[in-house]
Structure 1
Amino acid sequence: MIKSFTNKQLKALWETGKSKIDARMHPRILRRLDVLDAATAPEDMNLPGFDFHGLKGHNPTRYTVHVNGPWCITFEFRDGDAYVLDFEQYH
C-alpha cells in the first residue's frame, strides 16, 4: 500500500486524478501507482515495461520504475508498504 509521497504533484494525481504533470503521462503513472498500491514486496513491481530496479548508493534502498523517457517513479519499500514516492529524472 502507498503510505507517503515526496512529490506533491504525484500525490495530487493519485488522490484526485489531476496534476500539473504532463497529462499524456497520467495513464502510465496511474498504472504504476495502482500496481505499487497492491504490491506486498518490491519485486511485485518487476513487470514488463516497468524497467524495475534498485538504485545504488541509497540507504534505505530505493527502487525505480520508468514512466516515460527519463521520468521515473522512485520509492522505498518497508514492511509491505511503499513510502517516499517521488516523480523524478534521477540520471
Structure 2
Amino acid sequence: MIKSFKHKGLEKLFLNSDASKINQEHTKRLRLILAIIHKAKIVEDIDFIGANLHELKGDRKGIWSVTVRANWRITFKFENGNAYILDYEDYH
C-alpha cells in the first residue's frame, strides 16, 4: 500500500487523477505502476514485464526503482508491505 510521496505531482495523480504536473506521455504508465505498487504485498509483486525493478546501490541503497520510460523512474522505499517516499525522477 502506498503510504507517502516525495513528488507532489505523482501524489496528485494517484489521489485525484490530476495529471497536470506529470509528463503527459507518461500518465498511462504511471497510473499502471501506481496501481501495482499500491496492491503489492511484497516488493517482488512489483516486478512486472518491462518494470526493470531493482534496488539502487551506494548512498541510495534501500531505494527501489521501476522504469516509466527512457530515463524516467518511480523510486520508493518498500517496508512491511508498504511503499514510502514515492518519487518520479530522471536520476541518470
Q: TM-score, normalised by structure 1?
A: 0.94
Q: Secondary structure at the match of 1:85?
A: strand
Post-superposition, which runs of at least 4 consecutive aligned residues in structure 1 deviate over 4 A?
A: none
Amino acid at match of 1:72: R
Q: Gaps spanning 5+ residues in structure 1: where? A: none
Mapping of residues 9-48 of structure 1, within 5 Å: 9-19=9-19, 20-48=21-49
User: 2:10, 2:80 → 1: CA distance?
Assistant: 22
1:79 is aligned to: 80
Q: Which amino acid aligns with 2:17?
A: G
Aligned-residue Cα RMSD (Å) equals 0.9
User: How many angstroms apart in 2 are the aligned matches of 1:24 and 1:4?
Assistant: 24
Aligned residue-pair number: 90
Q: Aligned residue for 1:63?
A: 64
- Per the alignment, residue 49 of structure 1 pairs with 50
Unaligned runs of 5+ in 2: none
